[in-house]
Amino acid sequence: MHDPQIAPYGSWKSPVTPELIVSDSIGLGQIALDGSQIYWIENRPAEAGRSAIVCRAADGTISDITPQPFSARTRVHEYGGGSFVVSEGVVYFANFADQRLYRVTAGADPEPITQESAMRYADMVVDSRRGRLICVREDHTNSQSEAVNALASVPLSGGSVGQVLVEGNDFYSSPRLSPDGSRLAWLTWNHPNMPWDGTELWVADLNVDGTLAHAEQVAGGKTESIFQPSWSPDGSLYFISDRTNWWNIYRWRNGQIEALHEQEAEFGVPQWIFGMSTYAFASAQSIICWYTAKGIEHLARLDTTNGQLTPIELPYSTFTNIQASNGYAVFEAASPAEDQTLLQLNLSANKAEVLRQASKVKVKQAYISEPQSIEFPTENGLSAYAYYYPPHNADYQAPEGELPPLLVLSHGGPTAQTVNAFNAGIQFWTSRGFAVIDVNYGGSTAYGRAYRERLRGQWGIVDVDDCVNAAKYLVERGLADGRRLAIRGGSAGGYTTLCALTFRDIFAAGASHFGVSDLMGLLRDTHKFESRYLDGMVGPYPEKADLYYQRSAINFTNKLSCPVIFFQGLEDKVVLPNQAERMVEALKAKKLPVAYVAYEGEQHGFRRAENIKRTLEAELYFYSRIFGFEPADQIEPVAIENL
């Protein structure tokens, strides 16, 4: 042990380097089980962001199923998910480059089973009895009109764009076959709803020729969100509904709906992507499930015979992508000190085996800032929630009397949530001497439907207020320097960031990562899935055109008085590059310090290692120039106009 070196906040030398964050690191995604084999997606920054399908065989050997350059990633809804399915050792997947469906087995080259077309496919299930896939199909044939979504079948033998099974609504998801292949369940919804606003759960019989008959709506509606329909091994249909304000698990059996376990807790999440799974059947009598109560996540076993919920104690704080089979479950987990990990849990012994880790590089505890869950007062006498990370590096301490700069994080979605899991991107800042507060502002998931709906009609107001009040809360307690407050966010979080910088005067700097500056531009240019999202978040257009104008930072750059750095993918189809470029030009004209870092080949969110690394370094460099500290890192300078 040695005495800490005294150095200003922000200037501390940290082992959590950009190279460490991107080197030998992956993202873990969709999981599928096929007999004794386990399959999953690995998102690999070192391979230009490729999404590879990986298999762990019964003997423990791990191998890639999809060779380079294939990338298992669908563009349905642009956000994708549900990009592959496996049956009897054969994997069927959507390839990112051409959006065709392919068939592949271990050691073989992928073979296309759909033609080159303007079709996209996602959320597949294998109908082995009829030799086909059933999936969501998105038709972009007519470029002059909105894409057409449907449930369709595709022959496993290939050669066809598929046959439509259900159409007529704006959106479909979650086609799921009953164990005997006789019935199909699915979700559907229409504009202006998003799936967390209201969806319908339908069930139909399957005829011998594969067409549907006797379709009936089981649950859901315009104000009830249904999530993850799943058939039990005994043929009962389970689903998650928020009909009581909380996403709880229900069962449809013999024409009746019954709650399995009612609790003020969330067993579901917003369906931003396909194939999400928060519960799975270990048997007809046992469900392995995730839930969150008061912002804290849990793993548990739910007895389907009596509704008893029994916690499964593991040293992790978050759980995702749950799959199960007889005797074991597979899922991803993380803790405040450990990055995303793929686990196989022996259900009888309650013993977990690590199958894969997102990063092989470990950060010593001496450099990890432990998140502290806080509840703070906000507008209208309400409370909001956040995780506070104090600056922490065992090698340094700040000069006496100095307070740390604060970075306020505004998550995307905005219907998403931040969790208390290890995040190397946050530790990058705290180990250099920044305080960080990660805000679950009103509108976030995990606190019930009423909390989500605080943002209804109030986007750009409630989220901004909560981020501002989170910063004030720490400043008032002497935990942050009120003169060095910054806010950053991506996508919807970027919108909150730009609104906070424009319509409030508390922040001294900010960083927008592919953020929204012009609500009218977003309304005009974005993709189908989110094209009516703003009806609920702001108001229907054109009736509420005044609100769209008033809450767009691009229209009020005269109120902006602090430096901003922008990061943007030039192939982003969700938030187009012009959203950032117009703001940059406005700040240049105002003679405010501004920087713009754009990336060829990147979409909505950065996947390539070199770009992730550059973004971290550029943002640190930007704050160092604005807040007046010298970073310990050797960083290639960023061009900052007007500095």
Local structure of residue 475 (DSSP, 8 states): H
Find the helix packing angle between 462-476 and 492-503, rounded to 10°.
70
Q: What is the mean pLDDT of the chain?
A: 95
Residue 185 identity: A
Report pLDDT digits (tens) over 526-553: 889 999 999 999 999 999 999 999 999 9
Examine the pLDDT at 371 and tell me if it is beyond 70. Answer: yes
Q: What 3 state SS string does 303-336 have?
A: ECCCCCEEECCCCCCEEEEEEEECCEEEEEEEEC
Report pLDDT digits (tens) over 238-272: 999 999 999 999 999 999 999 999 999 999 999 99
The pTM score is 0.92
HSE toward the beta carbon, residue 268, CA cutoff 13 A:
31
Rounded Cα gap, residues 358 and 133, in angstroms? 31
Domains of the chain, residue spans: 5-17+369-627, 277-358
**At the fourth CATH level, which superfamily is domain 5-17+369-627?**
Alpha/Beta hydrolase fold, catalytic domain (3.40.50.1820)
45 versus 418: the higher-pLDDT residue is 418
Pairing of strands 406-410, 296-303: unpaired
Mean pLDDT, residues 457-479: 98
Query: Can you give the pLDDT at residue 1?
Result: 54
Report pLDDT digits (tens) over 9-23: 999 999 999 888 877
Report pLDDT digits (tens) over 125-163: 999 999 999 999 999 999 889 999 999 999 999 877 779
Confidence band, pLDDT 50/70/90 cuts, at residue 575:
confident
Which residues, 6+ apart, have CB-to-CB distance to 467 below 8 Å?
408, 410, 439, 441, 487, 496, 500
Query: Can you give the pLDDT at residue 256?
Result: 94
Provide the edge-to-edge strand list for the sheet that holds 328-335: 318-325, 328-335, 338-346, 351-357
Rounded Cα gap, residues 320 and 300, in angstroms? 13
Question: How many CB atoms are located within 10 Å of the residue 315 CB?
Answer: 9
Examine the pLDDT at 295 and tell me if it is beyond 90. Answer: no
Tokens (6 digits) for 144: 């002059």
- Asked whether the CA dihedral 611, 613, 615, 621 is positive or negative, the reply is negative
Report pLDDT digits (tens) over 100-121: 999 999 999 999 999 999 999 9
Query: Can you give the pLDDT at residue 93?
Result: 98
Share of the chain above pLDDT 70, in %: 100
